[in-house]
């Protein structure tokens, strides 16, 4: 199994994986990202990173992540926004390989932790099998769109 960082030339592939994940989560209608936005935010502004899992040179999964910061720990962490492996490649350890690669990146960068979502039971079971621990007493909230504009005013 091989893994590689995405480059700007992969923008359409990143969007493809985002849409595949959204379709899997039955949220495809919520995707407003397009190639222009992804290029701007991932590559021009360098606000996120993507690694791909490869089988025989073909991208079969991806992880999109970015840095956050823990004031209690006094260091950056890695926030895992998306992890997705194409259905026909599941069960071949690509998801685990992506997480292992992410763990190596975190260690190389001196990062503390990574976070993930809480709705997907198979994913949660997978994280738990790797020794991940749920953070008790924490809930993630989102303010976006018009609500964010109203707050800013």
Catalytic residues: 127
Q: Where are the beta strands (DSSP E) in 71-123?
A: 75-85, 114-115
Find the distance separating the first CA and the last CA of the chain, reported in whole Å.
50
DSSP state of 132: -
| Token duo for residue 120 | 């997907």
């Amino acid at each position: 199994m091989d893994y590689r960082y995405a480059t700007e030339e992969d923008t359409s592939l990143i969007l493809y994986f985002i849409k595949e994940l959204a379709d899997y989560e039955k949220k495809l209608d919520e995707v407003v990202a397009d190639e222009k936005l992804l290029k701007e935010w991932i590559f021009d502004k360098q606000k996120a990173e993507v690694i791909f899992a490869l089988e025989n040179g073909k991208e079969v999964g991806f992880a999109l992540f970015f840095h956050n910061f823990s004031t209690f720990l006094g260091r950056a962490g890695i926030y895992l926004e998306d992890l997705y492996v194409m259905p026909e490649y599941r069960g071949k350890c690509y998801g685990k390989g992506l997480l292992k690669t992410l763990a190596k990146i975190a260690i190389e960068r001196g990062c503390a932790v990574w976070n993930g979502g809480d709705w997907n039971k198979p994913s949660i079971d997978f994280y738990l099998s790797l020794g991940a621990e749920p953070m008790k007493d924490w809930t993630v909230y989102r303010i976006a769109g018009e609500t964010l504009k109203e707050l800013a005013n």
